Amino acid sequence: MRTKIEVELHSRAKLKTTYVQLRLADGPARVDVRAGNFKMPFSAIQQESIWTLPMADRGLIDNVFVNRMQLAGRAVGANLVVRLKAPWRPELRAGVFQGTDDAGNPLSATAGDRYGQDAIARASVRPIHGFELGAAFGSRAGELLVLPATIRRQWAAEVDATAELELGPARVRGWAEAVTGTSWLVADPMQTSARFVSWRAIGAVRFGGAKKGRHYVEPYALAGAVDPDTSVGGDFIRELTGGVGVGAWDRWQLQAELEVWRMGDNAPVGIAIYGLAPTNSTTALIQFGARL
């Protein structure tokens, strides 16, 4: 048995990843069950620690997925993880999590609405060292903050790939994913559901930093787009990020980054921030982080 408690100290203390995990088997198949508040098994980019990713933050599309579409991110729930000691190292994660309304509040749902639970499963394999392929599917419950307040279910599916490979004196790192499904973020106010498609990719080349504490330089870039409603034109949102990080690997890092976000004229209200109209932005960031 193991447990983890992670607290974020900002304007007020907030519990983040907090769980208890029990190992049920450790033979040809390693089986763990976890319960608490932790990341749902959807999106390889969201699964990766922000400390490991090269960027200062995960960006606009991640905010849409986590805070507006409730596809990924942390939630209260339980998860079963099965890892096979076999070629390609197959792994299955499946769990149920508490659904939320349009503002991220837990649903007050009855048994008739299955208590507003989300169900998510993810399978992955590692055909070669440093390379992983994954796919996930989820069915989630949600509720718009308009009358009549009706709990509805939506679905989403994704495929992704991650890589970390040595290339001469450098280490190449990358993440890519494509996502489709349905959501409540509609461009047409007469509709209650919309079909969306999305893609994003991150690439980075790290020079140095082969071991913990070794100095490194790492230029990186992110590109992505979301079509929130495939039945409506002119609603694309796009992001492009570029930057460079320097530091001592797994000890401290300094990142300088430029983020460009562009919103289509018909993008839904609240696509980026609940209740607010979408706006274009260009942001320069400088971030310092250290691991104690």
Specify the residue for token string 């339980």: 78
Q: Say whether the peptide bond before residue 148 is cis (omega within 30 degrees of 0).
A: yes
Q: Is residue 103 predicted with pLDDT exceeding 80? A: no
Q: What is the dihedral of CA 269, 270, 274, 275, to 10 degrees?
A: -10
- Closest Cα to residue 240, out of 217, 264, 227, 259? 259
| Segments making up each domain of the chain, as ranges | 48-73+88-290
- Give, in order, the Cα–Cα distances in Å from 51 to each of 41, 46, 234, 253, 291: 18, 12, 35, 9, 9
Lowest mean pLDDT among 78-92, 97-111, 178-192: 97-111
Is the Cβ–Cβ distance between 163 and 130 less than 8 Å? yes
Give the C-alpha separation, 122 to 95, whole Å. 9
| 20-42: pLDDT as tens digits | 999 999 989 999 999 999 999 99
Do the beta carbons of residue 39 and residue 58 sit within 8 Å?
no
The length of the chain is 292
pLDDT of residue 109: 74
Given this model, what pLDDT does residue 186 score? 79
- Nearest residue to 235 (alpha-carbon basis) of 275, 283, 189: 189
Q: Which one is predicted more confidently, 204 or 13?
A: 204
Position 202 scores a pLDDT of 97
Q: How many angstroms separate the CA atoms of 122 and 90, rounded? A: 11
Average pLDDT, the chain: 90
Residue 110: pLDDT band with limits 50, 70, 90: confident
